[in-house]
Chain A
Amino acid sequence: NAGVMQNPRHLVRRRGQEARLRCSPVKGHSHVYWYRQLPEEGLKFMVYLQKENIIDESGMPKERFSAEFPKEGPSILRIQQVVRGDSAAYFCASQDRPSTDTQYFGPGTRLTVL
């Protein structure tokens, strides 16, 4: 769905730097999901957020990764002290409410760690 926006679309970081990925959901959607996709692989769930709350972070590494979805503004996925293994495409998806089921994906941020 063209309504989900992500930026930047491409991000290059050196090992040890921080990466900040932004996701603006479809207008009116209050549920946001972050997924990671390694080259030639499927989508792996990382974290599920509702406005100001983390609902499920079971797929997110406990160290270096954090996510937020503030009352105002986009959802942010933050990766501290990036390593080469963090290189991947990161997609966010938004949903109106869980009962409507359908998740709409953004265009993704392709993170490259040098």
Chain B
Amino acid sequence: GENVEQHPSTLSVQEGDSAVIKCTYSDSASNYFPWYKQELGKRPQLIIDIRSNVGEKKDQRIAVTLNKTAKHFSLHITETQPEDSAVYFCAAPKAGNTPLVFGKGTRLSVIA
């Protein structure tokens, strides 16, 4: 089955700097890679996702890159703001299409 590793577990950046979170996965058949943001006490919210037919996807200050050969994908947040502070989870589908296997999360702190 799928195994998803996520690094780092905690990340502190100054406001305005960039943040990068990396994940690796094990199942080469996986073809869908979402990123979720979870604020304290709230539900996970999808912020961006990428499918295996593209190498990069961007949505304003957020981008995701995918390297299928190396089986890793990364979340990039530019011009970080205090409201970006949250726990971020990457995920990949279990064998087949679903359900999702989540990384352990990265706690991002943006310091004003």
Q: Would you call B89 and A102 a contact (CB within 8 A)?
A: no
B86 within 8 A of A: no
5 residue pairs from A and B, CB less than 8 Å apart: A42-B89, A48-B99, A56-B94, A99-B97, A106-B43
Chain B contacts for A87, CB-based, 8 A: none
Q: Would you call A105 and B97 a contact (CB within 8 A)?
A: no
Q: Would you call B102 and A102 a contact (CB within 8 A)?
A: no
Q: Would you call B43 and A103 a contact (CB within 8 A)?
A: no
List B residues 44-93 near A (Cβ within 8 Å): 44-46, 49, 51, 89, 93
Given A56-B99, A102-B49, CB of A41 within 8 Å of CB of B44: no
Q: Would you call B46 and A102 a contact (CB within 8 A)?
A: yes
From B44, B96, B98, A91 is in contact (CB under 8 Å) with B44
Given A43-B89, A107-B42, CB of A102 within 8 Å of CB of B34: yes
Least CB distance from B91 to A in Å reads 8
Q: Would you call B98 and A33 a contact (CB within 8 A)?
A: yes
* CB-CB nearest in chain B for A99: B97
Report the contact-size class of chain A (Cβ under 8 Å from the partner).
Answer: 20 to 34
Q: How many residues of B contact A (CB 8 A)?
A: 23
A65 within 8 A of B: no
Q: Would you call B97 and A101 a contact (CB within 8 A)?
A: yes
Q: Would you call A105 and B45 a contact (CB within 8 A)?
A: yes
Q: Would you call A45 and B99 a contact (CB within 8 A)?
A: yes
Given A42-B89, A91-B43, A108-B43, CB of A103 within 8 Å of CB of B105: no
Chain B contacts for A35, CB-based, 8 A: 102
Q: CB-defined interface of A93-114 with B at 8 Å, one 1/0 digit per residue?
A: 0010011011111111000000
List A residues 47-68 near B (Cβ within 8 Å): 48, 56
Chain A contacts for B93, CB-based, 8 A: 101
Chain B contacts for A56, CB-based, 8 A: 94, 99
Q: Would you call B98 and A43 a contact (CB within 8 A)?
A: no
B7 within 8 A of A: no
Q: Would you call B43 and A42 a contact (CB within 8 A)?
A: no
A31 within 8 A of B: yes
* Alpha-carbon distance A105/B37, docked complex (angstroms): 11
